Amino acid sequence: MITIVDYGMGNLRSVQKAFEKVGAEAVICSDPDKIAQASKLILPGVGAFRDAIQALKDQSLVEPILEHARSGKPFLGICLGLQLLFDVSYEDGEYEGLGIIPGKVVRFEDQPDLKIPHMGWNQIERTAPHPILAGIPEHEYFYFVHSYYVAPENESDVAAWTDYGCRFASMVARDNVVASQFHPEKSQDAGLKLLQNFASF
């Protein structure tokens, strides 16, 4: 069963509906015990890092998420759900993350003619083949909405890069954990194919 973590932040129903479109059942859940038993876990998120990490702590969801990440079972982070996997975020202060992937979350630097947030369609450049991108063309476009991006400590954790004023990690993958800065549920056919691939893990 695919379980979508509900901690009060994120377009949960959109993610659930996208899985329904590809014939996969996904449940939205905020119960720590049920999340701990999930066979596949989705950590979505829209909003501020500080609020998100506090919500996970307040709802006793941190440990079940960490246990799942360590278990070897499939794990997918989306947008803010990607950023939460890292050690620290510098969004409006300094906040400790889940520490699943070494690295930090930083803001795009102000540049002439660079609009922040990065919003709209952009390409990804994969670093190596990964099962979650199977059947998706090289340099495919996905939909982004973010002002901060992840800077992994180890380049080996980067699954794909994207250019927007700088070259940033738009996907990461480490063992059973994979996460995207873009929103697959908003990325039409390519995004649905990515979610279908995850459902088949």
Instruction: Please state, for a pLDDT cut of 90, what percent of the chain lies above it.
Output: 99
Tell me the C-alpha distance between 70 and 187, whole Å. Answer: 29
Q: For 181-197, what is each residue's pLDDT tens digit?
A: 999 999 999 999 999 99
Number of domains making up the chain:
1
The whole-model pTM stands at 0.97
Q: Both tokens of residue 152? A: 């992994």
Asked if the peptide bond before residue 102 counts as cis, ω within 30 degrees of 0, the response is no
Count CB atoms within 10 A of the CB of residue 151: 15
pLDDT, the chain, mean: 97
Closest CA to 126 of 92, 87, 88, 172: 172
Is-catalytic flag, 183? yes
- Strand-pair partners of 43: 77
pLDDT value for 172: 98
Over residues 98-104, the mean pLDDT reads: 98
DSSP symbol at 113? T
Domain that holds residue 65: 2-199
| Strands (DSSP E) found in 14-123 | 26-29, 40-43, 75-78, 86-89, 95-96, 101-107, 118-123
Over residues 2-14, the mean pLDDT reads: 94
List 29, 68, 79, 146, catalytic entry = 79
CATH number at residue 24: 3.40.50.880
pLDDT value for 130: 96
List 68, 118, 146, 183, catalytic entry = 183
Is-catalytic flag, 139? no
Is-catalytic flag, 68? no
Count CB atoms within 10 A of the CB of residue 56: 23
Do residues 181 and 82 touch, judged by C-beta distance below 8 A?
yes
Tell me the C-alpha distance between 13 and 19, whole Å. Answer: 10
List 68, 91, 146, 185, catalytic entry = 185
